[in-house]
Chains A and B, each alone.
Chain A
């Protein structure tokens, strides 16, 4: 159980911002929101993560709602190379101190020329 809900697919015009939504209504206080993506058949690539504040790095921005029940990954200027499956993942500290990444179906983002 991935604990997140994402639209199965989205299109975005090249050069425009891609906004990928994610619902995680059952998130608990110590759980983070992570985003990964998988380009074609490559290994999953880490993008960004956050707890409750908005985050930005060189790849993307992460906007988390105040109640933390949903978030949006923003790719500010999508390029054709951003075409991939994007996974929104909720992760926290589990007993034993270990963690594992539980992937769902993700959102297939198609960037259109």
Chain B
């Protein structure tokens, strides 16, 4: 069974440009999460989808970030326009059911560098 996949693995863009990150969860997982780690900081939660609905987006840093999950399958995270402080590694995770015993499985991450 394929795990969580993310694309691209690396992205280097200039300040002011737009970047779109993609996450494909494990097949059948209704829950999809985005996290990120900026340099020297802890991994932080960004948002949570249940199918195509945003359950919790309390961790989204500002309105330059837009996450979508059309059809409840893969998700995209768009940063527009990108700023220097957006550099970091963006992780996606998925789980079968949003209950306390449910395990989240993480993807390999997308390393974003904003110059």
Report A's interface with B, CB cutoff 8 A.
2, 30-32, 34, 36, 38, 41-46, 49, 91-93, 96-105
Contacts and interface: CB of A to CB of B under 8 A. Distances in A.
B99 A44 contact: no
Contact of B99 (A34, A99, A101): A99
B103 A30 contact: no
A44 B43 contact: yes
A101 B35 contact: yes
B56 A93 contact: no
Given A96-B55, A96-B56, A98-B55, A43 B91 contact: yes
Interface of B: 4, 31, 33, 35, 42-45, 48, 50, 55-56, 59, 89, 91, 93, 98-109, 111
Contacts of A103: 35, 42-44
A49 B99 contact: no
Nearest to B43: A103
Contacts of A102: 45
Contacts, number: 67
Contact of B111 (A41, A92, A100): A41
A interface, over-half SS = loop
Nearest to B95: A99
Contacts of A38: 43
B102 A99 contact: yes
A99 B45 contact: no
Given A93-B99, A99-B100, 20 more contacts: A30-B100, A34-B103, A41-B111, A43-B109, A44-B106, A45-B106, A46-B104, A46-B106, A93-B100, A96-B55, A98-B48, A98-B55, A98-B56, A99-B98, A99-B104, A101-B93, A102-B45, A103-B42, A103-B43, A103-B44
